Amino acid sequence: LNQVHRRDAVDRQVELRDSEERLRLALEAAHVATWDWDVRSGALRWSEGADRVFGAPGGGAPGTAEAYLALVHEEDRPAAAGAVQSPLESGSQRYTVRHRVIDREGAVRWIEAYGRVVRDERGRAVRTRGAALDVTDRQAIEAQREELIRELEAKNAELEQFTYTVSHDLKSPLVTIKGFLGLIEK
């Protein structure tokens, strides 16, 4: 019986390692990192490869929320902090925030974070868990799309002005021709 239990335990360990490896591959392929933040102690743990997602200075993932917040672009810091703090205080379960970070080369990266607040039996926030996704490429495409929309709107306005001008310019000869036709008819 002991040997059967040991074999089952070994099988479960092998399955667990395989599952963890599949998760690591999926996170790496999707440019996603997961975190677990103990609100009481302030400790922040990241999944393997998190430093690649947001390009942490020195290659290490920050170990506290404050250290991560220091990576957030100065203009986005208040909104990012508020997006996390609000559900902790309000009783909400989930939150989403998009912000910029400055990577180790000084380049701007866009991060979208999805978090879930875990509460104790009294309803107090004890931790948050979530995923951070590098959306830099998506943000660039969205900015490009917005620029194209602005250009298209400007071209449409020009076309409307041109159409109005042409219409107006064509009305004058038609009025004159209509006048001559009236004279000819008389």
Neighbours of 111 (CB within 10 A): 25
pLDDT per residue as tens digits for the range 9-19:
888 888 888 88
Give me the residue label for tokens 């922040």. 44
Q: What is this structure's pTM?
A: 0.67
Q: Which residues pair with 112 in a beta bridge?
A: 98, 133
Question: Residue 60's pLDDT band (boundaries 50, 70, 90)?
Answer: low
